[in-house]
Amino acid sequence: MKDRAPVPSPHPAQDVTEHVGYRLKKASAALRGAMDKALREHGLTVPQYSCLELLDERPGLSNADLARGTFVTRQSANVVLRGLKEAGLITQATSTDHGRALPVHLTPAGLERLHAARGAVYAIEERMIENIPARRLTALLADLDTMTGNLEA
């Protein structure tokens, strides 16, 4: 096999653990683990919680909207929604006046479960950012949005 020239790093890094993507994935995995543990106490998964949050913010979203908003496939969203329906946390219209998308709404029990779980999730986020000064947090959020935009372009 021919010797190949090394691929230059996009920024100075001693090893893979110093790359932005690695650090983002590590932070994401830590957040997901903490959320999984906290939400289990509320009988929810992370995708279920995300659906409840989205529906509280924008009632009437469709399965496809919820799949996009929770970063899962439509098939996975259907499984998530089925679990939420069986638990009595959401309702979904059986027909619609226009189009094919069937709007989904929170039930009173869904709203109650969301409010209980939200406190646990917000406590995790608070713990995650507690040592980041507000001015740096604003810049971090802007930088994350920029990175996302760069990859979606």
Domain of 131: which CATH number?
1.10.10.10
Output the six-digit token pair for 100.
């094919």
The mean pLDDT value for 46-68 works out to 94
31 close to 128: Cβ distance less than 8 angstroms = yes
Mean pLDDT of 116-121: 97
- On whether residue 7 sits in a domain, the answer given is no
In a domain, 6, yes or no: no
List helix spans (H) across the chain: 20-40, 46-57, 63-70, 74-86, 108-129, 134-152
- pLDDT for res 118: 97
Specify if 115 maps to a domain.
yes
87 vs 100, higher pLDDT: 87
pLDDT band of 90, cuts 50, 70, 90? very high
Does residue 12 lie in a domain region? Answer: no
Question: Is there a domain that residue 8 lies in?
Answer: no
pLDDT of residue 2: 67
For residue 14, being part of any structural domain is answered with no
Domain span including residue 70: 21-152
For residue 104, give the 3-state DSSP assignment.
Answer: strand
Q: What pLDDT sits at residue 92?
A: 85
The verdict on residue 59 lying in a domain is yes
Following CA atoms 128, 129, 130, 133 in sequence, which dihedral angle do they give, to the nearest 10 degrees? Answer: 160
d(CA 95, CA 79): 20
Residue 65 has pLDDT above 90, yes or no: yes
Q: Is the pLDDT of residue 135 over 70?
A: yes
Quick check: is 132 in a domain?
Answer: yes
| One-letter amino acid of 128 | M
- Confidence label for 96 from pLDDT (cuts 50, 70 and 90): low
pLDDT band, residue 72 (cuts 50/70/90):
very high
* Token output for 146: 């920029």
Largest interatomic CA distance in the chain: 66
Q: In the 3-class helix/strand/coil scheme, how is 70-90 assigned residue by residue?
A: HCCCHHHHHHHHHHHHHCCCE
Band of pLDDT at residue 99, cut at 50, 70 and 90: low
- Residue 104 region by backbone torsions, left for phi larger than 0, else alpha for psi between -120 and 50, else beta: beta
Question: pLDDT digit string (tens) for 24-53?
Answer: 999 999 999 999 999 999 999 999 999 999
Q: Write the CB contacts of 35 (distance below 8 Å, at least 6 apart in sequence).
A: 46, 49, 121, 124
Q: How many domains does the chain have?
A: 1
